[in-house]
């Protein structure tokens, strides 16, 4: 059949068939009722849908189809043949319809039955029939904005296909998850939002509305968690799992909450087994991950912390570093969080601790957990020294620590000297201990499982005597009184 119309069409007066005319129509005064539509309209709708589901950007452009009222339309009872010519309106919601004359293209070989494939519906354009797909791409162009999530979901739902996620290379899967995380803005976490979300918001905040990725599969969970915990330079928040705490109480709550959620990276879910042996292994790795790295499959989200920023008050700092000067050790309690918590963070690679702020009110509280530390002439310099001298000793094994908030350069230089001495006094560095562990193959396997430490029956209980020391509260004897500086 020729591409030109086989006979001359006489349109009614005041009507143009050039795809560019505008007519003021009301909502439906140009449409034929659905019950009176020709069967050809149903096929055109199918062709339009197949055109739209070719891509998400095409599906994002809504295209509706309806038979237009016209005196030259064939009757409903007419046969579906190649010579059927039908006036059809194409429109989006709220737009003026584009009235077009459509026909089915005949099959090759001169058969009388029309070819019903998607590419063989034609539209009259400037006295020439063109494929419907060309007409649609011209009159319904793609939007230049990104496709929304809801449209993407409806597109996958409409095209009837399943995305072959498992067939993708792991590197490509990682890039897809990175893209999702990059689009998720990390919201500021207020106390109110934290109260509403008791889950691991430090992790889920990195994923935002894509947090459901953690429940897709073990592989997707492993990729998502690795990016959340380790970070990536391609992410907006690429430093990994960071904990920022304004007090030891906040830090303790974060550790305790994150430790409740296993990473579950193994396909057999071994880390949530309930038998006695597995429970013991879980507890062993929870408290001694550096000693038993081969039990990593029992890791929790708390073990994945990479960076910590901790602000301490004077009393919190004295307890956190277990200061023993002038009998302060007698005020230590088992529930106090101390520096030994860092041994439970095997992947910690950056630690920032801020010394107590000397700009705060230097006043003792009625029920504070220790002796008076300020008095009439408070001396934050002495208190700072008690804290950073102890920190230089007990944190010497961690090369990634930064202590901030010194009163002046002299105090900072003094701390750096003490820290250097502490690091030089170590018999083995962390790296050397890891090498020894690897050379020994992880140590000697015991016939029975033994909990690290000393048995209770081998420990003598010593009642700690109460020490009354006139050191507290330390009185300021600086050349320039601290109260005149702070």
Indicate the average pLDDT of the chain: 82
173, 223 contact by CB (below 8 A): yes
Confidence grade of residue 407 (pLDDT, cut at 50, 70, 90): very high
Give pLDDT, residue 115. Answer: 57
Give pLDDT, residue 208. Answer: 78
Supply 39's token pair.
């069967």
3-state secondary structure of 223: helix
423, 262 contact by CB (below 8 A): no
Give pLDDT, residue 210. Answer: 82
For residue 446, pLDDT beyond 90: no
For residue 376, pLDDT beyond 80: yes
Give pLDDT, residue 287. Answer: 93
114, 121 contact by CB (below 8 A): no
Q: Which stretch of 17-31, 295-309, 324-338 has the lowest confidence by average pLDDT? A: 17-31
pLDDT in tens, 102-141: 998 876 655 555 555 656 799 998 888 999 999 999 999 9
- Answering whether pTM is above 0.75, one says no
The residue among 157 and 388 whose pLDDT is bigger is 388
270, 298 contact by CB (below 8 A): yes
Give pLDDT, residue 160. Answer: 79
Q: Rounded to 10 degrees, what is the CA torsion of 279, 282, 287, 290? A: 140
Confidence grade of residue 265 (pLDDT, cut at 50, 70, 90): confident
Alpha-carbon distance of 467 to 329, in angstroms, equals 9
290-294: long-range contacts, CB 8 A cutoff, minimum separation 24: 290/343, 290/346, 291/452, 293/346, 293/437, 294/442
The residue among 158 and 6 whose pLDDT is bigger is 158
422-427: long-range contacts, CB 8 A cutoff, minimum separation 24: 422/392, 422/393, 422/395, 422/396, 423/396, 423/397, 423/399, 425/396, 426/396, 426/397
Confidence grade of residue 469 (pLDDT, cut at 50, 70, 90): low
Average pLDDT over residues 391-399: 95
Give pLDDT, residue 207. Answer: 80
Give pLDDT, residue 159. Answer: 83
Give pLDDT, residue 466. Answer: 55
Average pLDDT over residues 11-31: 50
Half-sphere exposure of 425 (CA within 13 A, CB side): 11
Confidence grade of residue 22 (pLDDT, cut at 50, 70, 90): very low
Give Cα separations from 432 to 329, 414, 426, 428, 437 (angstroms). Answer: 32, 28, 11, 6, 9
Alpha-carbon distance of 310 to 316, in angstroms, equals 11
Confidence grade of residue 212 (pLDDT, cut at 50, 70, 90): confident
pLDDT in tens, 242-253: 999 999 999 999
For residue 16, pLDDT beyond 60: no
138, 71 contact by CB (below 8 A): no
For residue 1, pLDDT beyond 50: no
Give pLDDT, residue 20. Answer: 41
Place of tokens 């059949």: 1
Give pLDDT, residue 415. Answer: 97
Burial class of residue 424 (count of CB atoms within 10 Å of its CB; 0-12, 13-18, 19+):
exposed
Average pLDDT over residues 403-408: 95
3-state secondary structure of 204: helix
User: What share of the chain in percent tops pLDDT 90?
Assistant: 42
From the list 67, 94, 66, 71, the residue with the least C-alpha distance to 15 is 71
Confidence grade of residue 11 (pLDDT, cut at 50, 70, 90): very low
Order of strands, edge to edge, in the sheet holding 86-91?
64-67, 86-91, 98-104, 121-124, 129-131
Sign, CA torsion 380/384/385/387 = positive
pLDDT in tens, 50-59: 999 999 999 9
Question: 310: how many CB neighbours lie within 10 A of its CB?
Answer: 19
Q: Which stretch of 18-27, 402-411, 442-451 has the lowest confidence by average pLDDT? A: 18-27
88, 69 contact by CB (below 8 A): no
pLDDT in tens, 285-314: 999 999 888 889 899 999 999 999 999 999
Alpha-carbon distance of 313 to 354, in angstroms, equals 9
For residue 183, pLDDT beyond 70: no
DSSP letters spanning 273-295: --SHHHHHHHHHHHH-TTT-GGG
H or E segment and range at residue 121: strand 121-124
Alpha-carbon distance of 459 to 455, in angstroms, equals 7
Supply 385's token pair.
């020294």
Alpha-carbon distance of 354 to 244, in angstroms, equals 11
Confidence grade of residue 460 (pLDDT, cut at 50, 70, 90): low
pLDDT in tens, 61-101: 999 999 999 988 988 877 667 778 999 999 988 788 999 99
The residue among 173 and 8 whose pLDDT is bigger is 173
Confidence grade of residue 195 (pLDDT, cut at 50, 70, 90): very low
The residue among 394 and 274 whose pLDDT is bigger is 394
Confidence grade of residue 367 (pLDDT, cut at 50, 70, 90): confident
């Amino acid at each position: 059949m020729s591409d030109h119309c086989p006979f001359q069409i006489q349109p009614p007066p005041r009507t143009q068939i050039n795809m560019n005319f505008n007519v003021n129509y009301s909502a439906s005064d140009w449409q034929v009722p659905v019950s009176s539509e020709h069967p050809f309209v149903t096929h055109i709708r199918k062709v339009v849908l197949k055109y739209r589901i070719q891509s998400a950007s095409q599906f994002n452009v809504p295209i509706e189809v309806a038979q237009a009222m016209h005196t030259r339309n064939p009757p409903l009872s007419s046969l579906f043949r190649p010579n059927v010519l039908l006036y059809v309106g194409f429109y989006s919601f709220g737009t003026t319809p584009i009235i077009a004359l459509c026909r089915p293209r005949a099959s090759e070989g001169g058969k009388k039955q029309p070819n019903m494939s998607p590419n063989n519906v034609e539209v009259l354009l400037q006295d020439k029939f063109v494929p419907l797909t060309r007409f649609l791409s011209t009159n319904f162009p793609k939007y230049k904005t990104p496709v929304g999530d809801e449209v993407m979901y409806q597109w996958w739902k409409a095209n009837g296909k399943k995305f072959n996620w498992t067939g993708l290379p792991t590197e490509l899967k990682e890039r897809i998850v990175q893209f999702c995380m990059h689009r998720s803005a990390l919201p500021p976490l207020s106390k109110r939002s934290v109260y509403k979300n008791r889950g691991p918001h430090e992790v889920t905040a990195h994923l935002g509305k894509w947090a459901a990725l953690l429940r897709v599969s073990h592989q997707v969970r492993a990729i998502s968690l690795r990016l959340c915990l380790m970070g990536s330079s391609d992410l907006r928040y690429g430093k990994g799992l960071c904990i920022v705490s304004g007090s030891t109480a906040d830090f303790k709550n974060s550790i305790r909450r994150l430790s409740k959620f296993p990473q579950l990276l193994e396909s057999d879910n071994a880390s949530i087994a309930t038998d006695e042996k597995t429970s013991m292994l879980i507890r062993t790795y929870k408290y001694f991950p550096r000693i038993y790295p081969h039990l990593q499959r029992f890791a929790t989200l708390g073990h994945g912390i990479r960076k910590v920023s901790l602000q301490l008050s004077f009393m919190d700092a004295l307890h956190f570093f277990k200061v023993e000067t002038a009998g302060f050790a007698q005020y230590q309690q088992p529930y106090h969080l101390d520096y030994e918590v860092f041994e439970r963070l095997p992947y910690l690679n950056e630690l920032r601790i801020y010394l107590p702020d000397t700009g705060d009110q230097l006043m003792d509280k009625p029920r504070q957990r220790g002796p008076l530390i300020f008095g009439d002439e408070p001396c934050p310099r002495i208190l700072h020294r008690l804290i950073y001298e102890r920190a230089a000793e007990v944190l010497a094994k961690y090369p990634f620590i930064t202590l901030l908030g010194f009163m002046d350069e002299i105090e900072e230089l003094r701390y750096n000297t003490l820290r250097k001495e502490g690091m030089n006094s170590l018999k083995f560095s962390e790296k050397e201990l890891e090498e020894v562990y690897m050379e020994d193959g992880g140590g000697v396997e015991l016939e029975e499982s033994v909990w690290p430490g000393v048995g209770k029956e081998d420990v003598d209980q010593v009642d700690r005597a109460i020490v009354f020391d006139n050191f507290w509260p330390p009185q300021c004897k600086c050349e320039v009184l601290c109260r005149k500086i702070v």
